Chain A
Amino acid sequence: MERAYIPGAIARQPWGVILPLGLLVTFGCAVLYSAAGGHFQPWALTHGVRFVVFLAMAMLIARIPQTLFRHAALPVYGVLCVLLVLVELLGRVGGGSQRWLNLGFMQLQPSELMKPGIVLVLAWFYSVLPAPEIKTWRAIGPAVLLLGLPAGLVMLQPDLGTGLAISFGAVVVMFLAGLPLRLFLGGVVAVAVAAPLAFFTLLHDYQRKRVLVFLDPESDPLGSGYHITQSKIAIGSGGLVGKGFGQGSQSHLDYLPEAHTDFVFATMAEEWGMLGGLFVLTIFALILSWGLRVAQRAPDRFSRLLAAGMVTTIFFYVCINLMMVMGLAPVVGIPLPFVSHGGSSMMTNMICIGTIMAVDRWSRLQPAGLR
C-alpha cells in the first residue's frame, strides 16, 4: 500500500541491510568523534562522508546486470594481478615494502580490491565449469592457480593479513562450489602440519614475534604485547555499560594504539561497554545473515557463489579484527568494517555489500530460477 507513495527506485532498495549499516556507521562516527577528543575532524566526518559516497557506489554496483559481472570477472582479475605486480616492482625500486599505487587523487591498494576480485573470478569460474567436473582436478587446478597468483603476490609485499583474507574468501567459495569435502579436511590437516613449519621458515621476524606475543602478551608488555594488553584493558575496563561517551581514558590518553583504526572496537567498548559491543555484533549478525539469505535465494550458481563469497569476505574482516582486539588472535592489520576509519577497507566492504545487493536485485528480477 505504502509503496504507492514511495518512488520505486527507493522502495526497491534493500532497506534490511542499509538501515542496520547506517546505524553501525553512525555509531562508528560517534566513536570516532569521541576518539578525536570530541571533534568531527579528522575522522568522524570523513568516515560519514565516505560511507555516503560508497553507499552510492554500492547502489550503482547493485544496478549492474549479471552479464556484465560475468564478462568483467576475468578482465578485472587480470588488471588487479597486473597492479599487484606493479606494486611489487615499484616497491622493489623504491626500497622496502609498498602496498599502494599513487593514482594522484587517491592511494590505490590493489590487494584490498583483490578480496572481492578473487571471489568474483572464482564464482565465474565455477559457474562456467560443467557440473560433473566438480569432483575432478579440473575444478581444483585452475582455482588454485587463480588464488595462488594474487595470494602469493600479496604475501610477498609482505601483507600476511590481506593474503589470508584473500585465501579465506577463495577457499570458502571453493567449499561452497562443492569441491569434495575430504579436500578441505585434508587441507585442515595439511595446515596443521605446515603452520609450524611456515612459522619457522616463511614468516618474517616481526610476524613471528607477533604470533609469539599473541600466545603470551605479558612476555612483552611494553613492546609488541602492548597492543593486545592495552586493548584488553580498554575492553575489560568498560564493564557492562562502559565509562560513558567521551570518557574512555585508554583511548583519550593514547594508551590504546590505533584507537581509530584497527582497535576501534576497543575504543568503542571502553565507552559503551558490553552493551555497545553486543550492539555491534548484532548489526554484523544482521548484515551477514542478510547476505547469506540473499545467497540462498540467488537465481543461479554464479550469483549464489558471488554473494556467499562476499559475505565471507566481510565476515573474515569482522572475525579476525574482533578476535584480535579481544586477544584471541595475533595482531594483524585488519580493520573492523564500517567502524574503523579508513578508505580502502570501507571501499572494499561496500563493494562486497554492493555486489550482494546486485545479487539480491537479480533474484527479484528472476525469482528462484534454476534450482
Chain B
Amino acid sequence: MRKQKPGRPRTLPMSSALLTNTFERRTFVLGLAQAGVGVLLAGRLAYLSVAENARYRAASESNRVNLTLIPPRRGWVLDRKGAPLAANRADFRVDLVPDRVVDPDKTLAKLANLLGLTADRVSDIRDKLDKAHGFQPVEVASSLDWDKFAAVSVRLPELPGVIPQRGFSRFYPTGAAVGHLVGYVGPASARDYEQERNPLLITPGFKIGKDGLEKQFETRLRGVPGARRVEATASGRVVRDLGTREDVAGKPIQLTIDAALQDYAARRVGLESGSVVVMDCLTGDVLAMVSMPSFDPNSFADGIGRIEWKMLSEDDHVPLRNKVLRGLYPPGSTVKPMVALSFLEAGLDPEASVGCGGGLRVGNRVFHCWNRRGHGTTNMAKGIYQSCDVYFYHFAQQIGMDKIAAMAKRLGLGQEFPMPYPGQSYGTVPDPAWKQRKYGKEWAIYDTVNATIGQGYMLVNPLQQAVMAARLASGRNLMPRLLMDRRAPAAPSLGIKQEHLDLIHTAMNEVVNGRGTAGKARLPVEGVQMAGKTGTAQVVGLNIGNGKGGLWKHRDHGHFICFAPFDKPRYAASVVVEHGGGSGAAYPIARDVMTFLFDQAKAMEVLEGYEKQWGGNVEQRMAARYDAYAAKFGASAPKAPDEVQAAEAVAADNTPVTEPTGPQTDAAPPAPEPEASPSAAATEASAPMPAAPAAPAAAPAVPPAAPEGR
C-alpha cells in the first residue's frame, strides 16, 4: 500500500475492484438521475393534461373549429316614402388576407389577369396590401359577374390568401346625390379595430360606416353577423360543416328626405359648387339636403382609388366638403326679412320710410347702398324687395343690434341643431356683448351696418338659412328634422304676430312676383307663388375683383331663401352657390327645385335641357371626368391616402371659414343685387343723420360697390 498525500480521499491504489465499486455507485446515481427525469416528465405531463387541461382544451377547440363570420346585411336608409337611399345588393367579391398571401406580386398578377384589373387598380391594391396589418382584409374586386368569380374560385389552391365570397355590398341608387347626406361605408381601419376589437371588423367583405349617417348610426345599421362553424385543417381545408347561424340584418332608418327631390336638387346644382336645403314648413322635416359637387359613395365603398382621389382632391369645388353643415357664409341680404321682422316686433311702423340717396351719412362718413343711384323713399316692404341697404342702416341704428341679434337667433341663425352629423359649423350672430367678449372692443356703428346686410361677423350655414326661411314662413319654432318621426309634436309658435309675418311674406312675394330683385324666380306653376329673398355676399374686396367675373375664386357667393306658396307656406328652401357671381346664380336653382315639388314633369323638362348643355347628368359627367383623369394619369397618379390621411384631408376641406381673428374695423361694402328695378330719384332725400359717433380713424374710402342693374 502506497501512502497517500494527506487530504486525498483515496487510501487504496486504483484496482479493478475499486473501479467496479465506483461503477456501481455511479450507476446508482445514474439510475437515480433517470428516475428523477422520469418523475419530472410525469409531473409535467400531469400539469399539462390535468391542471392546465381547461386552457389547452379551449385552445384545441379554437384550432379545430373555424368560425367564419358572415357579415350582416346592413340596415337600409329609406326616404320619407320608403324609397331606398342606401340599400344592399347581392354580389360576388374577392378579398385578400395579407397574412396568408405568400407571394403578393404573383398573386396580384394572376388576379389581375383573371379579373381584368386595370394597372391603377392593381397599384391601389398593392398600396393597401403594403399598409394592411395582418388579417385586415383588402378588397380586390366586388360586384363581379359569375364567370370571373368562378374563375378565381377554381384556382384557389394556387392563390393562398385569396378569399372569394358571395355577400352583400352597399348600394346607393342615386350615387353622388346622397354622398354627403348618407355618407359611405368602407373596410374597417386598423384604428377602428383597435377601438372595438371585434373580429367582425376584419371579416372580409364587412364594411363600417365611415362618414355621415352611415357612421353616426353604425350600431343601428350594422346588425348581427351570422356565423358558419366548420371543422378545418391547419391549412384551412374544411373537413365538415358544424352549422350555420343566419345573420340578423341591421335595422333601417327612415329619413325625412324625399329621394326624388334630393336627386333633382343635386342634379340641378349642375356645374356650380353649392348647396340646397328644402324644409317642410309644417313639420320641420328636411326634404332635401344637397351639397354638390359630391363624391359617389358607391365607389368610395371599395376604398378610394388613386385616380378618384386625385380627381376629388384637385377639384376647387371641394366635393369632399359637406357645404350644408360645414360651409359658413356671410348670408348677405337674405337676412333682411329677418331684420325687418325684428323692427316690426320692436314696434317700428312698417310705413316708416327713409329716403335712399345711394348712401347714408353717419357722422363724417357715408355708408353706401348697393344701388349707388339710390332707391328714393323706401319703406319696409320696399327695403325688402328692393334690398335697400340704406333703409336697414337707418332703422337698425334706431332699433339697436341687440334686438336684431335676438331675432336672428330666434329664427335659427347661429343656432345648433341636433342633426346627426359630427363637426357641424354653426356660425356667428354678432351682438355688442359678443364682440366685447370676443375681442374686448366696443360695438361700433359699422358693425351694425355690416350685420344688417349680412356681412361682417355674421356667418351662417345653408341649413340655418333654410330654417330661417321656414320659421319666417310658418311663424313656428320649426326644428330641422332628418329622421322620420310621424308622431313628433307640432312645433310651437314663435309668438310673432301674424300681421307682421304677413307683411314680411308680402314683401318677399314682391321680390319674386313684383318689383323685386328676383323676378325670374317666378314659379311656372299655376296658382302657386313663391316668396323669396336674394342675397349676395362678397368674397374678396372690390380692389381685387368686382365679384361678377374674373377668377372663379373671387366671385361673390349667391344666396336665395324662399318659401311657397307665399300665402300658405308649405315648403321653404335655401340655396347657396359658392362664387356664383351673385344671387342670380342661386334663385333659378331655388325656382326649379320648388317647381319640382309642385310639378315634377315641368321641372324635369327644364333640368334635362340644362343637362344637355352641361354634358350629361352628374353620373355621366363624373364618369367622363374620371376617364379623362385615368387616360391622363393612369397608374402614375400618386397613391391614394389611407383612411387616416383621407380623413384628415376631408377634415381640412371641411374647415369652415374661420371667424376673423382680429376685429373688423370697417364696414363691408354691400354687394350688388342682380335685379334692381329703376330706383326713385336719387335727389329725393338726403339721409337723416342720427347723432352717431364718428367711425374710428380709418374712416371712409371704402371702395364702393359697383351695382349692375340687370
Cβ of A175 within 8 Å of any chain B Cβ, yes or no, is yes
Selected contact of B13 from candidates A132, A240, A328, CB within 8 Å: A132
Cβ of B239 within 8 Å of any chain A Cβ, yes or no, is yes
Are the C-beta atoms of B233 and A319 separated by less than 8 Å? no
Cβ of B20 within 8 Å of any chain A Cβ, yes or no, is yes
Are the C-beta atoms of B27 and A233 separated by less than 8 Å? no
Are the C-beta atoms of B52 and A236 separated by less than 8 Å? yes
Are the C-beta atoms of A178 and B60 separated by less than 8 Å? no
Are the C-beta atoms of A232 and B30 separated by less than 8 Å? no
Are the C-beta atoms of B18 and A328 separated by less than 8 Å? no
Are the C-beta atoms of A135 and B16 separated by less than 8 Å? no
Are the C-beta atoms of B19 and A178 separated by less than 8 Å? yes
Question: Which B residues are CB-close (under 8 A) to A175?
Answer: 26, 30
Are the C-beta atoms of B63 and A255 separated by less than 8 Å? yes
Question: Which A residues are CB-close (under 8 A) to B44?
Answer: 326, 328
- Bound complex: CA of A230 vs CA of B56, how far in Å? 9
- Bound complex: CA of A236 vs CA of B38, how far in Å? 18
A237-B57, A239-B57 in contact; A249/B48 too (CB < 8 A)? Answer: no
Expressed in whole angstroms, the minimum distance between the Cβ of A219 and any Cβ of chain B is 16
Residue in chain A with minimal CB distance to B57:
A237
- Bound complex: CA of A239 vs CA of B61, how far in Å? 13
Are the C-beta atoms of B233 and A236 separated by less than 8 Å? no
Cβ proximity bits B4-16 to A, threshold 8 Å, 1 near / 0 not: 0000000001111
Cβ proximity bits A175-192 to B, threshold 8 Å, 1 near / 0 not: 111100000000000000
Are the C-beta atoms of B20 and A371 separated by less than 8 Å? yes
List residues 282-330 of chain A with CB under 8 A from any CB of chain B.
284-285, 288-289, 292, 295-296, 301, 304-305, 308, 312, 315, 319, 322-323, 326-328
Selected contact of B56 from candidates A237, A312, A315, A371, CB within 8 Å: A237
- Bound complex: CA of A296 vs CA of B23, how far in Å? 8
Expressed in whole angstroms, the minimum distance between the Cβ of A161 and any Cβ of chain B is 17
A175-B26, A254-B235, A371-B20 in contact; A281/B60 too (CB < 8 A)? Answer: no
Q: Kindly specify which of A105-113, A204-212, A269-277, A349-357 makes contact with the partner chain.
A: A269-277
List residues 209-257 of chain A with CB under 8 A from any CB of chain B.
230, 232-240, 249-250, 253-255
Cβ of A131 within 8 Å of any chain B Cβ, yes or no, is yes
Selected contact of A304 from candidates B23, B48, B235, CB within 8 Å: B23
Question: Which B residues are CB-close (under 8 A) to A269?
Answer: 45, 49
A236-B57, A237-B57, A274-B45 in contact; A253/B232 too (CB < 8 A)? Answer: yes
Residue in chain B with minimal CB distance to A126:
B19
Are the C-beta atoms of A284 and B231 separated by less than 8 Å? no
Are the C-beta atoms of B42 and A237 separated by less than 8 Å? no
Are the C-beta atoms of A249 and B49 separated by less than 8 Å? no
Question: Which A residues are CB-close (under 8 A) to B22?
Answer: 178
- Bound complex: CA of A285 vs CA of B42, how far in Å? 11
Question: Which B residues are CB-close (under 8 A) to A131?
Answer: 14-16, 18-19
A254-B233, A315-B34 in contact; A233/B23 too (CB < 8 A)? Answer: no
Question: Which B residues are CB-close (under 8 A) to A240?
Answer: 49-50, 53
Question: Which A residues are CB-close (under 8 A) to B50?
Answer: 239-240, 274
Question: Which A residues are CB-close (under 8 A) to B30?
Answer: 172, 175-176, 292, 308, 312
Cβ of B601 within 8 Å of any chain A Cβ, yes or no, is no
Are the C-beta atoms of B45 and A326 separated by less than 8 Å? yes
Residue in chain A with minimal CB distance to B40:
A328
Expressed in whole angstroms, the minimum distance between the Cβ of B229 and any Cβ of chain A is 14
- Bound complex: CA of A315 vs CA of B27, how far in Å? 13
Cβ of A79 within 8 Å of any chain B Cβ, yes or no, is no
Cβ of B690 within 8 Å of any chain A Cβ, yes or no, is no
Question: Which B residues are CB-close (under 8 A) to A305?
Answer: 23
Cβ of A64 within 8 Å of any chain B Cβ, yes or no, is no
A278-B42, A292-B31 in contact; A253/B234 too (CB < 8 A)? Answer: yes
Are the C-beta atoms of A281 and B42 separated by less than 8 Å? yes
Residue in chain A with minimal CB distance to B231:
A253
Residue in chain A with minimal CB distance to B52:
A236
- Bound complex: CA of A328 vs CA of B43, how far in Å? 12
Question: Which B residues are CB-close (under 8 A) to A235?
Answer: 45, 48-49, 56
Question: Which B residues are CB-close (under 8 A) to A132?
Answer: 13-15
Are the C-beta atoms of B64 and A249 separated by less than 8 Å? yes
Question: Which A residues are CB-close (under 8 A) to B24?
Answer: 296
Question: Which B residues are CB-close (under 8 A) to A284?
Answer: 38
Question: Which A residues are CB-close (under 8 A) to B37?
Answer: 315, 319
Are the C-beta atoms of A281 and B45 separated by less than 8 Å? yes
Cβ of A145 within 8 Å of any chain B Cβ, yes or no, is no
Cβ of B155 within 8 Å of any chain A Cβ, yes or no, is no
A131-B14, A250-B63, A281-B42 in contact; A237/B27 too (CB < 8 A)? Answer: no
Selected contact of B234 from candidates A232, A255, A281, A326, CB within 8 Å: A255
Are the C-beta atoms of A134 and B27 separated by less than 8 Å? no
Cβ of B697 within 8 Å of any chain A Cβ, yes or no, is no
Residue in chain B with minimal CB distance to A288:
B34
Question: Which B residues are CB-close (under 8 A) to A255?
Answer: 63-64, 233-234
- Bound complex: CA of A338 vs CA of B660, how far in Å? 87
Contact-size category for A: 35 or more
Are the C-beta atoms of B63 and A249 separated by less than 8 Å? yes
Question: Which A residues are CB-close (under 8 A) to B234?
Answer: 253-255
Cβ of A370 within 8 Å of any chain B Cβ, yes or no, is yes
A135-B14, A250-B60, A326-B41 in contact; A236/B20 too (CB < 8 A)? Answer: no
Are the C-beta atoms of B16 and A233 separated by less than 8 Å? no
- Bound complex: CA of A270 vs CA of B63, how far in Å? 14
A281-B38, A326-B41 in contact; A239/B16 too (CB < 8 A)? Answer: no
Are the C-beta atoms of A370 and B16 separated by less than 8 Å? yes
Residue in chain B with minimal CB distance to A326:
B44
Residue in chain B with minimal CB distance to A243:
B60
Question: Which B residues are CB-close (under 8 A) to A327?
Answer: 48
- Bound complex: CA of A62 vs CA of B361, how far in Å? 130
Are the C-beta atoms of A177 and B19 separated by less than 8 Å? yes
Cβ of B46 within 8 Å of any chain A Cβ, yes or no, is yes
- Bound complex: CA of A315 vs CA of B32, how far in Å? 13
Are the C-beta atoms of B23 and A176 separated by less than 8 Å? yes
A255-B234, A295-B27, A301-B20 in contact; A277/B49 too (CB < 8 A)? Answer: yes
- Bound complex: CA of A250 vs CA of B185, how far in Å? 39
Cβ proximity bits B53-92 to A, threshold 8 Å, 1 near / 0 not: 1011101110110000000000000000000000000000
Are the C-beta atoms of A277 and B45 separated by less than 8 Å? yes
Q: Which of A237, A250, A308 has the most CB of B within 10 A?
A: A237
A253-B239, A281-B38 in contact; A296/B45 too (CB < 8 A)? Answer: no
Expressed in whole angstroms, the minimum distance between the Cβ of B509 and any Cβ of chain A is 75
Cβ proximity bits A326-356 to B, threshold 8 Å, 1 near / 0 not: 1110000000000000000000000000000
Residue in chain B with minimal CB distance to A278:
B42
Cβ proximity bits B234-258 to A, threshold 8 Å, 1 near / 0 not: 1100010000000000000000000
Cβ of B17 within 8 Å of any chain A Cβ, yes or no, is yes
- Bound complex: CA of A230 vs CA of B63, how far in Å? 9
Question: Which A residues are CB-close (under 8 A) to B20?
Answer: 301, 304, 370-371
Selected contact of A285 from candidates B38, B59, B231, CB within 8 Å: B38
Expressed in whole angstroms, the minimum distance between the Cβ of B109 and any Cβ of chain A is 26
Are the C-beta atoms of B60 and A233 separated by less than 8 Å? yes
Residue in chain A with minimal CB distance to B58:
A237
Question: Which A residues are CB-close (under 8 A) to B52?
Answer: 236
- Bound complex: CA of A120 vs CA of B55, how far in Å? 46
Question: Which A residues are CB-close (under 8 A) to B53?
Answer: 236-240
- Bound complex: CA of A358 vs CA of B49, how far in Å? 39
Q: Which of B16, B38, B41, B49 has the most CB of A within 10 A?
A: B49
Question: Which B residues are CB-close (under 8 A) to A288?
Answer: 34
- Bound complex: CA of A131 vs CA of B13, how far in Å? 9
- Bound complex: CA of A292 vs CA of B35, how far in Å? 12
Residue in chain A with minimal CB distance to B26:
A176
Q: Knowing that A239-B49, A328-B40 touch, tell me 6 more A-B residue pairs with CB under 8 angstroms.
A: A132-B13, A178-B19, A235-B48, A250-B63, A292-B31, A304-B23
13 pairs across A/B with beta carbons < 8 Å? A135-B14, A178-B18, A233-B63, A235-B45, A235-B49, A236-B57, A254-B235, A284-B38, A305-B23, A323-B41, A326-B45, A370-B20, A371-B17
Q: Which 9 pairs show the lowest CB-CB distances between chains A and B? A: A236-B56, A237-B60, A249-B64, A178-B22, A254-B234, A274-B49, A236-B48, A237-B56, A132-B14
